[in-house]
Amino acid sequence: MDELLAFERRFWEAGGDPGFYREHFAEDGRCVFAFGILDKDATVASMEVPGGWSSVEFSDVSCLDLAPDVVALTYLADAVSEDGGTYHAAVSSVYVRRDGAWQLVLHQQSQP
């Protein structure tokens, strides 16, 4: 679980770094937000905009093995943006190990 939490943190902190998303976000991956569903191209494009989160804290973390090489993480995220805004969400991410490497295939955020 530590390896996947490190990946998850890196996804949060990779604002302005689309290369990380290109490498570790699955070709068939999706991000689900209140405003819509993003495929990989849209997700990578959203990382090309400067800015992002200056810090993020995870709590109530759970790791669920869904199948061999398929893991779901759930947690609460408290983040601070680079301009000082705060954000709180319930989050789930599903990772699949393909060719020996973890890829994010589904990421969903819900704000209470």
Please tell me the distance from the alpha carbon of residue 104 to that of residue 95, in angstroms, as a whole number. Answer: 5
Q: Where are the domains of the chain?
A: 2-110
For 39-63, write each residue's pLDDT tens digit: 999 999 988 877 778 899 999 999 9
Mean pLDDT, each 10-residue run in order, the chain (112 residues):
91 83 95 95 87 90 97 97 93 97 97 84
pLDDT number for residue 17? 79
pLDDT number for residue 36? 94
The yes/no answer on whether domain 2-110 falls in CATH 3.30.70.1170 is no
